[in-house]
A and B are shown apart, each in its own frame.
Chain A
Amino acid sequence: MKTTFKFSLIALLATSAFACTEDTPEPVVPLEAILVEDLAAPNDVIDRTTGQVTEVKPFQFFSLEENALVAENEDWDLAFKGTTIRVNASKNVTAAVVTGIFNEIAEVPASASFATDSGESFAIPTGSGNGWYNYNSATFTVTPIPGRVILVKTTDGNYSKIEILSYYKGNPPAAELNPMTTPSAHYTFRYILQPNGTTTF
């Protein structure tokens, strides 16, 4: 896994307009979008004839604050395995899935319903079409649903927005992807973390 800083975002008009009305204007720091590439999170091995799990794989625990994989007992925000993404319920991490364009989401919408994982449901719903991906049973391909953005309130109480770009190694363009040969369960995503605790990005 490697992390790069590729995307930058100009501070939002709303924020700057608000800032201008202050007597002592704060310098506007553009938030950087962080690109995480090829986070490998292999799924359990399933015997296809019986549906039984024959080999359990571990979740991969990721901290948005640190932009790094961490241990399960550390302050992780998200955990990945196969197409499942958990949030850290024990540290009160919550998440919501909203529809929109990543760059256009300037603020956590009031309508976003944040939830955490429970024994019965996931904050980021699993299953094709429910959460962040569609599964095409004709081409056997998992594709992130364009326009789905995951909002996460981290262990530190900061908001971040995440867009998952690819489930396949090397983030191949859709047309070049062969689900039979390209390794899956390799997440590429980008996110912006607002470290000051506000709901704007």
Chain B
Amino acid sequence: MFRINLNKIILLFSLTVHSVFAGSDIVKQIRDEKGSPIPHATVQAKGSPAIVVDKDGKIQTELAESESILIFALGYEPLQISWEDWIAQDIFVLKEKAGSLQEVVVAATRTDRTVEDLPLPVNVLNEKSIQETGGIRLSEILREQTGLQISGDHGTGLQMQGLDSDYILILLDGEPLIGRTAGTFDLDRISVSNIERIEILRGPSSAIYGSEAMAGVVNIITKSTEEETRLDLGLRHRSFNSWNPYADLGFSKGKWSTKLFYDYMSTEGYDLTPELIGQTQNPYQAQTIQLKINGKLHPNWDVGLFGRGYLENSTGELETSGTSGSELLNLDNSRRDFNFNPTLRFTPNSKILMTLRGMSSWFSTVADTRFNSDGGIFDFQDFNQFYHRTELQTDFQIKENQLLTLGIGHLIETVEATRYEGTNRFDAGYLFLQHQWDPGKKTNIISGLRADFHSQYGNRLSPKISGQYRLTENFSWQASVGAGFKAPDFRQLLLNFNNAAAGYYVFGSTLAQEGIEKLQNEGLIARILLDPANLGDLKAESSWALNTGFRWKVNPKFLWVGNAYRNHINDLIETAPIAQLVTGQNAFSYFNISQVITQGIETDLSYQATGNLQLSVGYAFLDTQDAEVLDRIDAGELFKRDAQNRTRRVVRSDYGGLFNRSQHSGNIKINYQDQWTGIDFALRAIYRGKFGFADLNGNLILDDESEYAPGWVSVNLTASKTLKNGIFLEVGATNLFNVQTTFEPTNPGRVLFAGLKIPFANLIQTK
């Protein structure tokens, strides 16, 4: 078993580069229980380096004679056999592991560790589980996972452990993705056609990632080239006249590998409220292009280059009521996103790994709204953000059971936008330290500490400690305590916004004093509610969280995992009025006001019934509360009105917690491979329980039955087949029973889809 993993990184990396194609008569193949080859399994003769099999699961190299042979592949039970058996047989079958405890996770420690070695709630979605959802965009994959919700608010955002998109860090190949609108990272910006796996880490991870990683981290790992050449062309079509052609090109030679990916997406969008002008999702066209180059400069030096561009245009209509009745508006919006990440990796010896990463990101949006009648400008907004980070990470293997990681980095962030004055810049530096330690065979402990030094909101220390204890071979218990934080964003610090139509102002906290003075000089202030001079600086939002869970291999076919968590969030930033204007409207700014608690339980059961039938059940319970609201309820300061207009005090049992949180959610998944036709069926039922959508009775809290949107079940079915020549076909439907709700704009109702992927390189080679 792999333990602390610095060795493994080096091992895997060197294996990838030295794919073996030595000529030999001996051909042996590694297969799964269904008879399909397992590509990239490793075969290791005791005392010799491991060898990777080719994409057909074949190994043609003669092994050095030894007492035993270990055959290993991620996701499968390792197989140890004698030298005699290795000689005697040609085909070796590995049994699939129930669940995915053997998957490698980078996000949790920034080093490679398997799920079962991590004392943290983490799960990995591999290519197969991504494929079987039939999804095109990232949101479609994540919405089927236990405890994750998708919600539409300025884009398709993720919710994890009851916290919104603002508090979830999204990484692409380990580097943060930027570009949020009102805090939401739009998951629809990410195409999944070239994703190899997705790592989902729950609980605060600010101890290694700093700001934003308060609820958790989603790390998207894109494919790397392992074959000599690869040319996959794919086309997917789905409802709403959506088309998604893509090309995936890769080749590797000697010490270098290159991968180029292009994805085009076009859709007419959908409308959940046809009686109103304007669609729920506007038509858009999006393009993603990605280039990944990896190579070895020297036996000790590896280099990587990653570039990605994203371009999206959308158009739509909107109605506004102006002076002369209502007027039609045309929307023309675009988003661009560009990332460039060079990486240099140095391994002076087997105990040290140094990684120097640079990361630059540009994100921009333009929203151009014009009158349909004369083309005159109604509103024009642009937003340009730049983010740069340089980081040096050193992993040092102190002993066989101890790995120390030290990181140091700095970052620059600038923003220039219609709603901000001038160009604004943040500077920050940080240090992080992490110690992974296996004190005994049954125990492993990870402790970490990160210090952030920021030009705007000051300094922060984020510690975290997590531990795992294996009670038996099959049952392990995990617990972690950690701090999380989220820095105030540009909007909260620097916004300078005047809503002319409604007549109110919003100032970022650093501009509040200046803004109010200006309004005062213009004679627009009726009275000051809070003197901006006494407000002090906006602090980072911070949290403490406890996570504890278990992994239980009840028997080789039956895996049960669970995790309970509690997040205490302090200094949550919200807007509140600071001055009343003579017009009766308010000027707002941002404050550290609220305290919020989110807690819950998430559990998944998976059962490998037979070689070709797998069942799983997931359930999540979530409870959220705003401490300030509870105080006001206890003080008898909150009231509600019933349908007969009688006013009464709100009691604790009326209170439903935060809006847009489902107390109950879950899923049932059935995977079946038909042996006669070879067709894979994946049937999933995804349940989202009722959730509060808005305050209706005027007290601004969720406390009335009418304020809940009903729950729903989305039944999704995918049928797919990989032909002998590698051609992949899929057909299916999501939300088969067309359950629509206007309360969740990201749910379009039934979507039918069909897709095709042709591995050209494969076809040519086999001929």
Residue positions of A touching B, CB distance < 8 A: 45-51, 54, 83-84, 99, 101-103, 120-122, 125-130, 133-134, 136, 138-139, 141, 143-147, 163, 165, 171, 173-175, 177, 180
Contact = CB atoms under 8 A, between A and B. Distances in A.
Nearest to A142: B698
Contact of B647 (A102, A129, A143, A177): A102
Contact of B645 (A46, A120, A133, A165): A165
A174 B649 contact: no
B178 interface: no
A165 B704 CA distance: 17
A127 B577 contact: yes
Contact of A54 (B323, B500, B580, B647): B323
Interface string B364-381: 000000000000001100
B566 to A, nearest CB: 28
A163 B698 CA distance: 13
Contacts of A138: 694
Contact of A174 (B320, B638, B697): B697
A48 B584 contact: no
Contacts of A46: 501, 503
A118 to B, nearest CB: 9
Contact of B586 (A99, A130, A133, A136): A130
A121 B527 contact: yes
Interface in B551-609: 577, 580, 582, 584-586
B712 to A, nearest CB: 19
B36 interface: no
5 contacts: A47-B323, A48-B320, A126-B580, A134-B699, A139-B696
B584 A141 contact: no
A30 to B, nearest CB: 18
A76 B640 CA distance: 30
B526 A101 contact: no
A145 B704 CA distance: 14
A128 B585 CA distance: 8
Contact of B323 (A45, A122, A163): A45
Contacts of B473: none
B527 A48 contact: no
B245 to A, nearest CB: 37
10 tightest A-B contacts by CB? Answer: A147-B639, A126-B584, A143-B698, A51-B500, A175-B706, A48-B501, A146-B639, A174-B696, A127-B586, A146-B641
Contacts of B645: 165, 171
Nearest to B501: A48
Interface in B307-359: 320-323
Contacts of B641: 146, 165, 174
Interface string B389-431: 0000000000000000000000000000000000000000000
A145 B699 CA distance: 6
A143 B586 contact: no
B643 interface: yes
B27 interface: no
B637 interface: yes
Given A45-B323, A146-B641, A175-B696, A121 B647 contact: no
Interface string B629-665: 0000000011111010101110000000000000000
Given A127-B585, A173-B643, A50 B696 contact: no
Contacts of A102: 647
A125 to B, nearest CB: 7
Contacts of A103: 647
A59 to B, nearest CB: 13
**Chain A interface, >50% SS class:** loop
Given A127-B586, A146-B699, A48 B694 contact: no
Contact of B526 (A120, A133, A163): A120
Nearest to A54: B323
Interface in B142-169: none
B107 to A, nearest CB: 33
Contacts of A130: 577, 580, 586
Of B501, B582, B643, B698, most A-chain CB atoms within 10 Å: B698
Contacts of A145: 639, 698-699
Contacts of A175: 696, 706
B700 interface: yes
Contacts of B640: 146
Contacts of B526: 120-121
B326 to A, nearest CB: 11
B697 A128 contact: no
Given A136-B694, A143-B695, A174-B641, 11 more contacts: A48-B501, A49-B379, A101-B639, A126-B585, A127-B585, A130-B586, A146-B647, A147-B647, A173-B643, A175-B706, A177-B696
Given A101-B648, A121-B526, A174-B696, A49 B503 contact: no
Given A99-B637, A120-B526, A143-B695, A51 B323 contact: no
Contacts of A84: 584
Contacts of A180: 276
Contact of B501 (A49, A101, A128, A173): A49
Contact of B500 (A49, A120, A143, A147): A49
Contact of A120 (B527, B639, B695): B527
B586 A174 contact: no
Most buried by B among A120, A127, A138, A139: A127
Nearest to B321: A48
A143 B639 contact: no
B355 to A, nearest CB: 44
Contacts of A144: 698
Contacts of B695: 134, 136, 143
Contacts of A173: 643, 706
Contacts of B698: 133-134, 143-146, 174
B646 to A, nearest CB: 8
Contacts of A129: 577, 700
Contact of B580 (A50, A121, A134, A177): A121
A173 B582 CA distance: 32
A142 to B, nearest CB: 9
A128 B258 CA distance: 57
Contacts of A174: 641, 696-698, 704, 706
A165 B646 CA distance: 10
Interface string B693-714: 0111111100010100000000
B500 A48 contact: yes
A83 B586 CA distance: 14
Nearest to A138: B694
Contacts of A101: 639, 647-649
Contacts of A136: 694-695, 700
Interface in B466-511: 500-501, 503
Nearest to B644: A173
A191 B582 CA distance: 28
A94 to B, nearest CB: 17
A83 B641 CA distance: 20
B699 A147 contact: yes
Nearest to A48: B501
Nearest to A50: B500
A139 B694 contact: yes
Contacts of B700: 129, 134, 136
B378 A125 contact: no
Given A138-B694, A177-B696, A47 B577 contact: no
B706 to A, nearest CB: 4
A182 B586 CA distance: 26
A5 B321 CA distance: 38
B647 A163 contact: yes
A159 to B, nearest CB: 19
B582 A120 contact: yes
A134 B577 CA distance: 13
B88 to A, nearest CB: 70
A198 B527 CA distance: 32
